[in-house]
Structure 1
Amino acid sequence: MKKVYLIAVIFALVAGFATYFFASEIDKKTTIKDADTIEVIVPVNDISQNSTITEEMFAEDAGVFTKKTVVAADVNAQNVATSNEQLLGKVTVDPLYAGEPINVNRVEDINGADVALSLKLKKGKVAYSFSAGSVTSVDGYINEGDKVDVLVYDGDKGKARVAYKNLPIMRVSTATASKNASASGVALTEYSTLTVEVTEKQALALYKIENESTFKLVLKHRNNAPVPTTKPADAQ
């Protein structure tokens, strides 16, 4: 008799669990069906950091991006990409993962602070870093986006010349606020290197100047108009 009761209890438990899971699945499907949904863009495969997103990637046969319907409550609608325009021309500053809604904070414009410097270089240009203490580089007043001239002193001829004009500063490395403020009360900056955008030929010439000559960087007036990088006619 006890064995019969035991078997009955086991069957009852099994039936109870089966009923519970069945009811839960029905409830889940009903919830998803009735919930508000949103269509988002997701990568088909993982996309690495510092990848530029182009228009071709959105073509159906490209197999890079696709659209996916998700429950609106499961994502932050303000932060996920729902249209191509939110991603087009942007650069990934974090990896994007296959099937995962894309957080728009993981992409930036090409000029974004977290985008790799190599992606910002114009075609045919390279980045060259000066060893630049305050003596050679305007006493700590140079910032990213500024332009400088390179002033070189020729000891043999006893004269100075402008070797290069309007070199754009791309990076200010190891910048720290100086403890000694200027006379006007403005805090100065100390840095060990300044990175400029130049051609490969110019980089070789600058390396020679840096190692063989006395030079100074002259800070130029900043304006919104583009200024071409030029080499004076009398530069050697």
Structure 2
Amino acid sequence: MKKVYLIAVVFALVAGFATYFFASEIDKKTTFKDADTVTVIVPVADMDRNVTITEDMFLEDAGVFEKKTVVAADVTADAVTSEEQLINQVVVYPLYAGEPINVKRLESIDGADVALSIKLPKGKVAYSFSAGSVTSVDGYINEGDTVNVLVYDGEDKKANVAYKDLKILRVSTATASKNASASGQKITDYSTLTVEVTEKEALELYEIENQGSYKLILNHRES
């Protein structure tokens, strides 16, 4: 008699577990079917920082991005849902394969967290030179300004403008620039300036810098 009860209990447990798992699967399917969904764009493979996203990456055979349907409640409002949100953006925080892309991981090419090398036009280089207050308009230079380089010829005893309209890319060190950008403060005490030049101009600026006698002239900036 005890055997019969034991067998009955075992069958009851098995039937109970089977019913539970069956009901759970139905619930999952019903939940996904009935839930609001959204189509997001995900990377096919991991993507490192400082990659510029272009239209070519969305061609059918590119294999860089794909669309994925997910439950709306599982993604944030910052999830990327269209190609337009990605094109011409730069990855500033790594993207991971199959994961919805958060727009906060992207930045426009002019963004502070984008590598300077990406911002340089083709054929241009960045050159940093010493620029204390005596030589560089006493702390009034800002990123985006242009300057002229004034040199003195000791033999002719004449001053002349060696370079005009050099674009200021960075003021002071990278760390100082980033900290100032984050805090919204202006850098007025700097020791270096980084300008956009050709490689030939960089060589000539290096020669001027080593001669030790030069000053910078701050130009008018169009508003």
Q: Does TM-score exceed 0.5, indicating one fold?
A: yes
The answer on 1:29 being equivalent to 2:41 is: no
- C-alpha contact (below 8 Å) 2:40/2:82 kept by paired residues: yes
Give the aligned partner of residue 162 of structure 2.
163
State the shift of 1:19 in Å. 2.5
Pairwise CA distance, 1:223: 1.0
1:143 aligns with 2:142: yes
| Greater helix proportion | 2
Report the Cα offset of residue 158 of structure 1.
Answer: 2.0
| RMSD between aligned residues | 2.1
Task: Give 1:91's aligned residue.
Answer: 90
Q: Which residue of 1 aligns with 2:183?
A: none
Aligned residue for 1:74? 74
**Contact persistence 1:153–1:213 (CA under 8 A):** no
Identity %: 75
Matched position secondary structure for 2:61? helix
1:74 and 1:55 map into 2 onto residues whose CA distance is 28
Query: Does structure 1 residue 57 correspond to structure 2 residue 57?
Result: yes
For residue 151 of structure 1, give the secondary structure of its aligned residue in structure 2: strand
Contact 1:126–1:198 (CA<8 Å) still a contact in 2?
yes
State the distance in 2 between where 1:204 and 1:4 align: 97
CA distance in 2, matches of 1:211, 1:223: 32
Partner SS state of residue 19, structure 1: helix
- Other structure's SS at 1:171 match: strand
Amino acid at match of 2:162: A
SS of equivalent to 1:202: helix
Paired letter, 1:58: F
- Does residue 18 of the first structure (1) align with residue 31 of the second (2)? no
What secondary structure does 2:53 align onto? Answer: coil
- Classify the secondary structure of the residue corresponding to 2:151: strand
Show the counterpart of 1:124.
123
Q: 1:3 to 1:133 in 2, by over 3 A?
A: farther
Task: For 2:117 and 2:187, locate their aligned partners in 1 and report how far apart those are by CA, in whole Å.
Answer: 28
Deviation at 1:156, TM superposition (A): 2.8
Structure 1, unaligned stretches of length 5 or more?
A: 178-186, 225-236
Contact 1:130 1:210 in 2 (8 A): yes
* Aligned AA (2:43): P
1:173-184 alignment runs, 5 A limit: 173-174=172-173, 175=176
- For residue 67 of structure 1, what is the amino acid of its counterpart? K
Q: Letter of the aligned partner of 1:16 in structure 2?
A: G
How many angstroms apart in 1 are the aligned matches of 2:10 and 2:187? 80
CA displacement, residues 108-130 of structure 1 (integer Å, 9 cap, x when unaligned): 21111111100110110000001
> Following TM superposition, by how much is the alpha carbon of 1:82 offset from its aligned partner in structure 2, in angstroms?
1.2
**Counterpart-to-counterpart distance in 1, 2:24 and 2:144:** 59
Aligned mates of 1:165, 1:223 — CA distance in 2: 16
Mapped contact 1:52–1:92 kept (Cα < 8 A): yes
C-alpha distance in structure 1 between counterparts of 2:151 and 2:12, whole Å:
94
Amino acid at match of 1:148: V
TM-score of the aligned structures, taking structure 2 as reference length? 0.88
Report SS of the residue matched to 1:62.
Answer: coil
State the match for 1:195 in structure 2. Answer: 194
* Moved >4 Å (runs of 4+): 1-11
Q: Is the 8 A contact 1:41 1:68 kept in 2?
A: yes
Decide whether the 8 Å contact of 2:80 with 2:103 is kept in 1.
yes
